[in-house]
Amino acid sequence: MSMSASPTLARALAACLACGLSLAATAHAMAPSTVPQAVPDTLAQRLVACTSCHARVDARGNPVNDVYFPRIGGKPAGYLYNQLLNFREGRRQYPLMTYLVEHLPDPYLREIAGHFAALPPAAHAATASQVTPQVLERGRQLVFNGDASRKLPACVACHGQRLTGVEPAIPGLLGLPRDYVNAQFGAWRNKARRAHAPDCMAGITARLSFEDVAAVSGWLAAQPVPADPRPSPAASIARPLPIACGSAPEAP
């Protein structure tokens, strides 16, 4: 090596060394911290996973694609508790929900139900109807008047005149995706969804034609949600109910 090349080589080596030190410093800065992040042990934190399906946005603020899942904030606590029990005890079939609740005791299920019941309601927006005006009118008739010839009570007789549900255990029907409502009728028909005996919705579904189901779900999904979508008080509907219902007994 000639002496004239030494300064050039020295400068190159110095540049490489500086570059290596810079890369090492950058890698160290980007390396994940070895100090564990403290996570608050609260019920809300434990239930963050539920927002992946049952909220307007997930825990990171991303919109949830929940066409087939209901938003459960603000639902009656008794209704939510009954559904958790149904999943745990096999009356409702959905593997992910069963996995989540199969080992949870009753008091904890009540806590979960109370947590979501206390949240502000977050309903789905009304969707444009995909059925004819005649079908929509049939749906409206079933919702408000039922069909006495087939012993079908009006939906409002149990779910309230505003169709937002009734405390403590009757859910609202507005603000639900049409596909979700159709899927639940199908689950009752196929016995993949059941409730405490006597299972009133299973009996009602058995008397509905497929056309009736499409009419009811289409009409419900097309309705705007009231400004105050909270469930109505228990005294807002007449007792006894027009059909015996194990999930909403006469003496809650």
Beta bridge partners, 193, equal 92
1 is in an annotated binding site: no
3 is in an annotated binding site: no
Identify the domain containing residue 169 by its residue range.
Answer: 43-236
Q: What share of the chain in percent tops pLDDT 70?
A: 86
Paired tokens of 151: 């012993």
Q: What pLDDT does 252 receive?
A: 57
**CATH number of residue 171's parent domain:** 1.10.760.10
* Mean of pLDDT over the chain: 87
Q: What pLDDT does 32 receive?
A: 57
C-beta neighbour count of 189 within 10 angstroms = 15
In this predicted structure, the answer to whether residue 21 has a pLDDT above a threshold of 80 is no
CB 176 within 8 A of CB 71: no
Tell me the pLDDT tens digit for each residue of 181-201.
999 999 999 999 999 999 999
Is residue 30 in a domain?
no
50 is in an annotated binding site: yes
245 is in an annotated binding site: no
The pLDDT confidence band at residue 59, using thresholds 50, 70 and 90, is confident
Left if phi > 0, otherwise alpha if psi is -120 to 50, otherwise beta: which for 229? alpha
Our count of domains for the chain comes to: 1
Is residue 114 in a domain?
yes
Is residue 6 in a domain?
no
Q: What is the mean predicted confidence (pLDDT) over 33-37?
A: 71
158 is in an annotated binding site: yes
